[in-house]
Amino acid sequence: MAEKQFVKEIADINGDFPQWYTDVVLKTQLVDYGPIKGTMVIRPYGYAIWENIQRELDARFKATGHQNAYFPMLIPQSLLLKEAEHVEGFAPEVAMVHVAGGEKLAEPCVVRPTSETIICSMYSKWINSYRDLPLKLNQWANVVRWEKTTRPFLRTSEFLWQEGHTVHATQEESMKETIDMLHLYHDFARDVLAMPTFIGKKSEKEKFAGAEATYGMEAMMLDGKSLQAGTTHHFGQKFSKAYDIMFLDKDGKHKHAWQSSWGVSTRLIGAIIMAHGDQRGLVLPPMVAPIQAVVIPVAAHKPGVLEKAREIADLLKNAGIRVQLDDRDQSPGWKFNEWEMKGVPMRLEIGPRDIENGVAMVARRDTCEKFTMPLDGIAQSAHELLATIQTNMYNKSLAFRDSHVKIAHNMDELQQVLDSQCFAKVVWDQDPACEALFKEKYQATVRVMLDEEPFQDTCTCCGEKCEHPVVALVARAY
């Protein structure tokens, strides 16, 4: 019955995953389309997830010595042009401002697609001595990239993100920062989003425009496609040379600084949806769920029911749980469906008989199990259940992922693996020609190179003996 009702509202997750995604993000009011093509409005329910992500990440950034700052959104075009590879990568998708305040600007500006250029121009001014280093700043901001094909959260003309930009006196330090932040993202995804990820170096082709090396965090979605959920970049001295960031070192010599940058965006919300959702809609990890528990009075007109439901809700709220009492004039069944679709981790039903028995009926969103929970000590029990749900969601995702990664010894096997909606581990000699073939033949790309021993000495693609074999993760991707 419930299943049937949902089929009316959202497309079949197994039959049409892209439509399921679109239905879910719109019907649960996470997001709406903005008036300009490719833009999104992040509605309160979606924005609250972003706030939870921000709070958790920001605390981790600060605990590792980073500070927040804010740089202007409008960048003089000439600044963008200073780093050759960077401009080549970003120029095609920038939005330009030629007119402001009723006048044509002497020099046009670009709306930031990312802030390396303007931040480096300020760093050049601020950094003079080794005493000014390391400088580890982060910015929470909106960026604009004019994309041809857009989907809410996954790829939009404007999105929200954070971008860290650090400067160091030595290559060792900036490389350590690049790797440390990759691990910070990985641990955050695991502990907060309940999402296992693969981390590793990106191929030359996939690296950030202007970086010496890019590292990525890739998450498996339920359709077997990969989503790039975060990246960290090692710039070496490329930007410090282009933007003249020099410091007087302890040895009395003037040197170019070493840099990193790293970012995650509102795309993470898309990752959560596609990593955990099911036929009924969203399944949100308790750590980021805007509402962790919903309390629903059953037979609310009977004396004492609404009061008891409110009492329980207050109890949970005071215990630090994000709770909502749903006392709207709708049937309990209607409410169950609504909150299931919205992915609230736990539902508590309070009816006359439950009150008599000193219990609440509890439904877990992750397993759809129903059971009673004693009202006595319910705040503690609720906390424990939320922790259990968080852990279970991670374990479930991990088991799903592990059963969907397969080794491909050759191109035939690669096709089979990809067509069965899995990620493939391949051996690859880092030859761009083979990488191009993955794309051309199977619409798949090298997501990251894994820190694993090669399982054969020949390339999965060309079959030739490798000189520098690596294990690469190959998948279709968002």
Query: Between 136 and 233, whose beta carbon lies closer to a copy of itself?
Result: 136
Least distance (Å) between residue 302 CB and a copy of itself? 24
Per-residue x/- track, 22-41, a copy of itself (CB under 8 A): ----------x-xxx--xxx
Which of 9, 85, 132, 147 contacts a copy of itself by CB under 8 A? 147
Say which DSSP state 132 is in: G
**Total binding residues for a copy of itself by CB under 8 A?**
53
Integer Cα distance of 72 and 8 in angstroms: 46
Instruction: Indicate whether 89 belongs to the interface with a copy of itself (CB under 8 A).
Output: no
CA distance 232 to 211: 10
Of residues 55 and 205, the one with the C-beta less far from a copy of itself? 55
Q: Which of 7, 59, 96, 436 binds a copy of itself (CB under 8 A)?
A: 96
Q: Are 55 and 61 in contact (CB under 8 A)?
A: no
End-to-end Cα, the chain, rounded Å: 33
How many alpha carbons lie under 13 Å from residue 200 in its C-beta half-sphere?
A: 20
Look at phi and psi of residue 210 and say left if phi exceeds 0, alpha if psi is from -120 to 50, else beta.
Answer: left
3, 15, 102, 253: which one binds a copy of itself (CB under 8 A): 102
Burial classification of residue 325, based on how many CB atoms lie within 10 Å of its CB (0-12 exposed, 13-18 middle, 19 or more buried): buried
98 binds a copy of itself (CB under 8 A): yes
Other CB atoms within 10 A of residue 419 CB: 11
Q: State which residue, 339 or 442, has the beta carbon closest to a copy of itself.
A: 339
Smallest distance, Å, CB 118 to a copy of itself? 7
Between CA 1 and CA 227 the distance in angstroms is 33
Identify the DSSP state of 147: -
Out of 26, 81, 95, 315, name the contact with a copy of itself by CB under 8 A: 95
Letters for 387-426 (x = contact with a copy of itself by CB under 8 A, - = none) are ----------------------------------------
Give the number of C-alpha atoms closer than 13 A to the C-alpha of residue 25, restricted to the C-beta side.
25
Q: Which residues bind to a copy of itself, rule: CB under 8 A?
A: 32, 34-36, 39-44, 47-48, 50-51, 67-76, 79, 92-102, 109, 111, 118, 121-122, 125-126, 137, 141-142, 144, 146-148, 157-158, 160
